[in-house]
Structure 1
């Protein structure tokens, strides 16, 4: 049974989330503080974390950064602070998704299922080998890892899916709507800026291992393409 860690300081919200997730056949564990989350994750290795932004002891931003130092497990941020959305969308923290409070617990369960489906799709894809070779990059689906001659980087699920989609069709222009369909398989409504923010972060990471190459190009008013 897949285990979901809930890090939330409001008992009523945590209890509600646990009930809905357990009804959806997930095992749950609840922590009410940001302190000790990293240690618990290292020991128990859950499949996904629902992480509140505002926490006592250590806030969700710091917890997310800490976890990303040693794990790529999916993290969904819970936030009531609308002004933080741009930071979350920019994936400066490495979060895979976010949900605004107040939220429907059914929506949370649907988001959890969608993120875990994406992860399962990555591990099941290319069953004859997890590594896709290319002249410049190697994509390791199991570890969400991208390798080049000058080093390697780790990506979030969304970043990896964007890169894999663009890279499979060099030179082809993908509109933002097309990329949204590829990345968000649960058919949620997201803005164009969401894709732009993911691409911005992806480009920044790729520049770390290929500083002299611009791989993802913007096509004005249309979308993006992968072209070394």
Structure 2
């Protein structure tokens, strides 16, 4: 990793010359490939860390889901700009507490995709965020801990109760990884937290392994005061 990082630094001027850095939200010029312009930075709305509705589970959200974060999510999740995972993870990492010295690192578990959705998209955006957070020292990524064994329709446009019905029994823990989570602090990682239905399904599955604690970390959180339809 150190060699890769050194090569990246050496070739950065060449990359910047061929592909001038642009803000991934508005397209304006920026100083670095993985940065936002000042105007877009200023429009990110940082929330207080609160609970997932119906569960006493702390949520570490980098920003509310507003116009700026929406453009970032769409570019990342549906535009295939997976390089944004580093920027988004960096914003999430700023909201996560630092691991205690000498204590075991928390386990970073991404929200799973069904294998067909993974094949169509080509990547699991939550898994990429988990891996980036692990590189930043926020935990140990366990990207295959949860399995979405039943294909579910797109949840966009569905209300909370409909989402709960669709997801019931769709997500389970991989039995081969349950022991790894037992007694550990677990952080569920997602890109966008909408109604909390997916998070609750994942939390219920993780709880069967007997973890010490469960928290949720996400890039953007949908809030009633920020009325944008999630992707």
When the two structures are superposed, what TM-score results if normalisation uses the length of structure 2? 0.33
For normalisation by structure 1, the TM-score amounts to: 0.33
Return the structure number with greater relative CO, CA threshold 8 A, min gap 6: 2
